[in-house]
Amino acid sequence: MKKLAVVALGGNALLRGDQDGTIEEQEQNTTDTLENLVFLIKRGYDLILSHGNGPQVGNILMRNDAGESQYQIPQMPLDICVADSQGGIGYMIERMLRNVLKKHNIDKEVVTLITAVVIDKDDPAFSNPTKRVGKMYTKEEADLLHEKKGWIFKSSPKADDAWRRVVPSPKPVRIINEKVVESLARQGVITIAVGGGGIPVYYDKNESVRAAEAVIDKDLASSLLAARIKADEFYVLTDVSFVYRNFNSPDQEAMEFLDYKDTRKYLDNGEFGEGSMAPKVRACLQFIEQGGNKAIITEAFKLQDMNYGTKITMEYDPGDK
C-alpha cells in the first residue's frame, strides 16, 4: 500500500512577512512550495494538503468592516470569512499545483474541499479568547464595537492605543467529511482540506450543525485529520530548517531526530516559543500519540533534502531517514 502523508503548508508558503500580499506574490510563493512536493509524489506518496489563512482571513475581515461602514453592506460572521478564505486559497493552490504537475508530466487530479471541523462548545477557550483577528482600532472604537456587537478586544503590542478583536481558539475534536477526504486521497487524488484549521462548528441539543465565532489552529486540525485517517506521515512546512534548542542564541542546537519522550520534555520545559514553534511541535506530538509513524518539521523549500528537517517518532531510530 502506498504511503499517505498530510502536509501542512505554513504561512510563508503563501505569503512572506516582507511582501504586500499581491496575488502575483502569493501565486509565486505557492508555486515554489509546491515544486518541493513533487519529490513526495514521485516517491509514490498520496497527499492531503492543508494551509494557513491568517493574513487572508484578516483581509477579508477588513473588507467586511469597510463594506459595512462605507456602503452599509451587512457584515458576514467569522465562519463565513474562514470559508471564503478556504475557497480562495484552495483554488489558488489547486491551480498552481495543476501547472506544477503538468510541468513534471505527472497525471494526477487535484480537488479542494471546504472543510468544517467539530469543536466542543464548552471548550475553556471560549472563556479566554486570545486569537487576534482583523484590523486595529482605537480604544474608543473598540469600546463602541464591544457595546454594539459584543466583540472582545485586547490591546496590541505593536502600537499605542491599538486594539484588536480576539476570538477563542478551541481544540479540534473531529473533521467533518474526514472519510471523504481519506477516500479521495487514497484513490490518488491530491486533496486540499482543513484550510485555516477548518470552519469551527458544533452540534446543538437537536444535533443541528451550528457555527462558532472562533478560529482553530491549522497544525492541530491537520494533525488530527492525519491521525484519524491513519496517515503514515505528517509534515509541517515552515520557515526554518529544524526545530532548535536555545533558538536564536549563540548556543542554539538543531535537532534532527527526536523521540516522543524527549520532545514532550522540551515542550513542557518551555524550550519552544508559544508564538512560533510550540504549536507545531504540539501538533506533531498529537499525531504520534494517536498512532502516527513519523512527523517532520522542516523548511518549505528544503523538503526533498533529507538532511534537513526535524523527524519526530515514538522511539528514536538511528537508521531513520
Give the number of C-alpha atoms closer than 13 A to the C-alpha of residue 143, restricted to the C-beta side.
Answer: 4
29, 52, 280, 294: the active-site residue: 280
297 Cβ contact list (under 8 Å, min separation 6): 235, 236, 238, 242, 243, 277, 280, 281, 284, 309, 310, 312
Integer CA distances (angstroms), 180 to 112, 183, 184, 216, 264, in order = 12, 5, 6, 21, 32
Please, is 286 exposed, middle or buried when counting C-beta atoms within 10 Å of its C-beta (0-12, 13-18, 19+)? buried
Alpha-carbon distance 103 to 32, whole Å?
13
Task: List the grid coordinates of 184.
Answer: 479521495
C-alpha–C-alpha distance, residues 241 and 290, integer Å: 25
Does the active-site annotation cover 131?
yes
Annotated catalytic residue 273:
no
Rg (CA), the chain: 20
Tell me if residue 218 is catalytic: yes
Q: Examine the residue annotation and report whether 12 is marked as an active-site residue of this protein.
A: yes
> Is the CB of residue 238 less than 8 Å from the CB of residue 302?
no
| Options 12, 36, 53, 64, the catalytic residue | 12
Query: In whole angstroms, what is the distance from residue 182 CA to residue 31 CA?
Result: 24
Annotated catalytic residue, options 131, 135, 171, 302: 131
Active-site hit among 10, 11, 88, 195: 11
Q: What number of other Cβ atoms are within 10 A of residue 278's Cβ?
A: 15
Q: 218, 292, 294, 311: which is the annotated catalytic residue? A: 218
In the β-sheet with 257-259, what is the strand arrangement from edge to edge?
Answer: 110-112, 190-192, 46-51, 4-9, 233-238, 294-299, 310-313, 257-259
Q: Three cell numbers at 67? A: 463594506
CA nearest to 54, candidates 92, 11, 19: 11
* Catalytically active residues, by annotation: 11-12, 131, 218, 280
